[in-house]
Structure 1
Amino acid sequence: MKNTKLFAYLQLTRPANVITAIADIWAGFAIAGAWDYMATNWIYGDQQFWWNLLWLSLSTIGLYAGGVAFNDVADADLDAIERPERPIPSGRASKKTAFWMSSLLLVFGVICAFQVNPTAGFLAIAVAACAVLYDYWGKHQRILGPINMGLCRSGNLLLGIGVAPEVLEKIWPVGLLPLIYVAAITMISRGEVHGKNRKALFAGGAMYASIFVAIFGLAYLESPGYLQVIPFLALLGYMIFPPLAKAIRTQEPKFIGKSVKAAVISLIIVNAALASAFSGWPIGIVVLLLLPISLWLAKKFAVT
C-alpha cells in the first residue's frame, strides 16, 4: 500500500493530526453548551445538533488536511534537501496535483462551515487564510511564526464554539489556550532537523505548564465538580512531559521529533480536558475516544 499514489497523497494530509482537529470541534461544542443542550433534549431527537456536528467536523477535516498539505507544497524544494523521503520530493506525489488537492480541501472546509451559520463560515475562511499564510510566510518568522500557527488551532476551536454565535461573543478568549499550546509545539519543532534548541525546549515546557493552570482555572470557574478535570490533566502530563524531558537532556533531533509528535497527538487530551471543564467528564471521555484512532493512524502516517 505504501507504494501507491493514494497513500502518498494521504501522507500529505497527516491523517493522525486531522483527528486532533476534529477534537477541537467537539470541545468547541462543549464550551458552547451544545452537548449539554443535546443531553437535555435527546428524547426529542434533535437532528440539527448532529447535522451541525457533522458539518463542522467535515469542515475541520478539509481545513486541516488542506493546510498541512499546502505546507508540503510550499516546502518541496527544501524537503528535497532535508527530507527527500517525503511524498513530493520523492516523486510519489506531484506538486501540481498536491496544490490543487490542498486548494479543494480548503474550499470544501469553508463550504461545510457555511452550512451551519455565517459565523462559522467566516471563521473557516480565517483558519484557511492563517494556514496558507503560515505555510508560505509564517514558518520563516522566528516570533510571529509560532503565533501564526497557534492562530490556526485557535480558530479551529472557535469554529466549534461558532455553532452558538451568542456564546462565542462572550467566551472567545478561550481560544488563547490552543494558541499558546501550539505556539509551544512550533517553537520546539524547530529542532527536529538540526537539534540544539535547549532554550526553545524550556520555553515550550513553560508554555505547556501554563495550559495546565488555565484549564484547571476554567474548570474551577465553570463547574462545581471541577476536580473531574484532574485525570485528563494527569494523562496530558504523562504524554507530553517525559518525551520533552528526554529531548531537553539529549538535544537530539530524533527525540525532539518524538516530543513534538507526542504533543500534537495530545491536543486531543487538551480538548478532552476543556470539554470536561465545561460539560463534565462524560463529554471529556467522548472527546478522548478520538485518541486511540489518532494513535493508530500515527503508526501508519507521519505526524510531523
Structure 2
Amino acid sequence: MTHPRPDAGTSGSVPRGAGPHLLAWAELLRLPALFTVPGDALAGAAAAGGRPGPRTLLAAGSSLCLYEAGMALNDWADRGEDAAERPHRPLPSGRVRPAAAVVAAGAPTAAGRGRAPRAGRGAVAVAVPLAATVWAYDLVLKRTPAGPAAMAAARGLDLLLGAAATGRGVRTALPSAAVLATHTLAVTAVSRGETRGGSPIAPLAALAATGSLTCSLTRGPASARTPPGATHVVRGVLTAAYAATSARPLLHAALNPSPQLTQRAVGGGIRAMIPLQAALAARSGALGPALLTAALAPAARRFAKKVSIT
C-alpha cells in the first residue's frame, strides 16, 4: 500500500495559491500517488466477477485510508534519516510536527478498518492483515531483506480487499493480485537505490518483470461478459500503456543507474500501476471499471508535476 522511499531530489514545484501548510501535507501524504489506489478495488471486484457497487466504494475508501496512514507513518519512521539526507521533507523541515504525523497514521488506520465491516465480513478478513502489513513494513521491515516482499504483499492484499467486498470470495482474484504484487516487488527493489544509485541489476530485473507481466496480460484469460473485440482492443491498449510507462524509465536507469534516473524509474513504476490495474480489469471483462481506472492517470501525472509521487 505504501510506496517505496526514501525519495531523492526535490519535492516538486509549489502550486500557486497553495498555502505552505497544505503543500506540506500534500508532500507528506504523496497526493499524486493517491490516484493509484482506487484501481486496486476496481480490479479486485472485476477479478472476482462482481460489478462495482457501494461495497466496492467502501473497500476503495478503506484502501485510501490505509494508504495515507502508511504514507504518514513512513515519514515518521524516516524522520531521523530525512533530517540528514532530505531536510526539505515536511517533518525535518518543521512544516509538519512528528506528533501530527503519528495522528495522521493512527486515525486513518482506524477509519480504514472501521469501513471494512460495512463492505462485508470477507473485507474485514483482508483489511486487518492489510493494516498490519502496512505498519509492519514502515516500522520494522522496510530496511530488511523482507521489505520488498512486505510491500508487494500489501498491494496484493489491497486488490483482494476489493474482491472480498463483492461477497464472491477472493480465490478467482488471486492471479490478478499476484500480477500487481510482482510489479510492486520489482519497483520496491529499484527504490532502494533512489538516494545512492549504483548497480543496474535491480532496474534490469524490474524491466524483465515488466516484460513478463506484459506478456501475461496479453495471454491471460478473457471474460465472456463483454464482446471479445472490445475486450481485446481495450486490454491491448491498456497493456501497452502499462509497458511504456514502466519500461522506459527502467531502461534509462539500467543504462545509467544514477539517483536521479533511479528515482524517475520508481516514479514511473508507481504511475504504471494505474494502467496495470485497468488492464487487469479489462482482462476480467469489466470494461467500465477499466476505463474508469485509466481515467485517473492524467490526474496523477498532473499532480506529480507539483508534488513528488515518491
Q: 1:246 to 1:159 in 2, by over 3 A?
A: same
Instruction: State the percentage of identical aligned residues.
Output: 28
1:1-304 map, 5 Å = 4-35=20-51, 49=53, 51-142=54-145, 144-220=146-222, 224-225=228-229, 227-228=232-233, 229-304=235-310
State the shift of 1:282 in Å: 4.0
User: Following the alignment from structure 2 to structure 1, what is the Cα–Cα distance between the partners of residues 111 and 77?
Assistant: 20
User: Following the alignment from structure 1 to structure 2, what is the Cα–Cα distance between the partners of residues 104 and 114?
Assistant: 17
Cα RMSD after superposing both structures: 1.8
> Mind listing any 5+ residue stretches in structure 2 that lack a counterpart?
1-16
The structure carrying a bigger helix percent of its residues is 1
User: Following the alignment from structure 2 to structure 1, what is the Cα–Cα distance between the partners of residues 306 and 273?
Assistant: 19
State the shift of 1:31 in Å: 1.4
State the shift of 1:207 in Å: 1.6
Q: 1:237 to 1:172 in 2, by over 3 A?
A: closer
Q: 1:57 to 1:283 in 2, by over 3 A?
A: closer
State the shift of 1:150 in Å: 0.4
TM-score when normalising by structure 1 = 0.90
Contact 2:160 2:173 (8 Å CA) reproduced: no
Where 2:88 maps in the other structure, the secondary structure is coil
User: Following the alignment from structure 1 to structure 2, what is the Cα–Cα distance between the partners of residues 230 and 120?
Assistant: 31
State the shift of 1:32 in Å: 2.1
Where 1:279 maps in the other structure, the secondary structure is coil
State the shift of 1:280 in Å: 4.3
User: Following the alignment from structure 1 to structure 2, what is the Cα–Cα distance between the partners of residues 267 and 179?
Assistant: 10
Equivalenced residues, count = 290
User: Following the alignment from structure 2 to structure 1, what is the Cα–Cα distance between the partners of residues 159 and 201?
Assistant: 29
Structure of greater relative contact order (alpha carbons < 8 Å, 6+ residues apart): 2
TM-score when normalising by structure 2 = 0.88
User: Following the alignment from structure 2 to structure 1, what is the Cα–Cα distance between the partners of residues 85 and 135?
Assistant: 21
Contact 1:15 1:297 (8 Å CA) reproduced: yes
State the shift of 1:262 in Å: 1.0
Counterpart residue number, 1:43: none
CA deviations on 1:176-218 (whole Å, 9 max, x unpaired) are 1111100000011111100012111111111222211222232
